[in-house]
Amino acid sequence: MSSKLNDGQETNLRKQQKTSDVFVNSRNTGADGRDSECTKYQQKRVSREVDASVGRTAIYRTVGGILGLFREVMREAYDYIDAHGERLEKRLIDHKDKKASFLEKSAALEKEIARLLEQVEKLPEETPAEEE
């Protein structure tokens, strides 16, 4: 993808990447000189085959950044999936409780209706004059 627009200006994406690269490169090493945890957010990407001209430190930073980002994405995905599973389990328990309550109340209503019908059947037959 070209970094130039039709009028010759750089795109905002390219400008943001340059700003991000400066910020990332300024904080890549910790107090002891080794790569810090911040390299996991590094935005650099290797655009050619890795060879001796790149340098071991640059390779470690790049690969370490990719690995750190991968681990973060995996952790977030696992957390989301786990939380979603918990929500589903809770909804299933709620469903079972509501279903049990519905069946219990339905059975009680059915029993009451059947009892009333039995009482009506025991009543003497009405004469036509009494119905009016």
Instruction: Please choose, from the candidates 3, 66, 65, the residue with its C-alpha nearest in 3D space to the C-alpha of residue 35.
Output: 65
DSSP letter (8 states) at residue 44: -
Distances (CA, A) of 9 to 13, 31, 43, 44, 95: 11, 39, 22, 22, 58
Asked if 36 and 27 count as a contact pair (C-beta separation under 8 A), the reply is: yes
Task: Convert the pLDDT of each residue in 48-63 to its tens digit.
Answer: 565 666 788 888 899 9
Average pLDDT, the chain: 75
At 111, the amino acid letter reads K
Instruction: Please choose, from the candidates 72, 29, 64, the residue with its C-alpha nearest in 3D space to the C-alpha of residue 43.
Output: 64
| Predicted model pTM | 0.44
Task: Convert the pLDDT of each residue in 48-103 to its tens digit.
Answer: 565 666 788 888 899 999 999 999 999 999 999 999 999 999 999 999 999 999 99
Task: Convert the pLDDT of each residue in 22-33 to its tens digit.
Answer: 444 444 444 444
